[in-house]
Amino acid sequence: MSKKFLIILIVVLAALIILLLWQGLQADKDVAYGDNPELAFFAKCLAEKNIVMYGTPWCSWCQRQKALFGESFSFVAYVDCSKRPNECVSEGINATPTWIFPSASSGQVPSASSGQVPSASSGQVPSASSGQVPSADSEHISSASSSGQTLESRKIEGYLTLEELAEKSGCELPK
């Protein structure tokens, strides 16, 4: 075999390997709903119901949570606690990711900007980025008073599957 033929063979094989790897990554993305355009409707439904995710860029479980939505995550109401720490502290965010669901009666989540949530005493927002999956079993009911009106919200700390989000939110997950 000539050197020229061997070089061409190596280049073709390398291109084939790269193509197969790329196809495999695309297949994994599809399984995680990321490329499903109908997932945007689910993400928009969460936003319309004022369901908010609180997270940080360095939290690996937050990154996994975002990856479930793929490009549709841009429709999810998201608060980056590294950029808006005062809001996260006032909302009582103790771990990330944390989801806050408004009560059915109020239809809104109390927010720091509206003054509806009393300030929290802690100054740091720890991340749930240990090697274990943060538990979504930690549910809290929070109340805040604004002009005599009491608003309640449900706070769930930890990673939630899309199926769990659909069940807790009432939003329909695409098939």
- Taking only the tens place, the pLDDT of each residue in 1-36 is 688 888 998 998 888 788 777 666 554 443 445 567
User: Can you give the pLDDT at residue 36?
Assistant: 76
At 126-166, the pLDDT tens digits run: 333 334 444 444 455 444 433 333 345 789 999 999 999 99
User: Which domains does the chain show, CATH number per domain?
Assistant: 28-129+138-169 (3.40.30.10)
Measured distance CA(151)–CA(47) in Å, rounded: 18
pLDDT interval class at 37 (50, 70, 90) = confident
Token pair 């196809």: residue: 23
Mean pLDDT of the chain: 74
Residue-wise pLDDT tens digits, 83-113: 999 999 999 999 999 999 987 544 444 443 3
d(CA 64, CA 127): 13
SS3 label, residue 121: coil
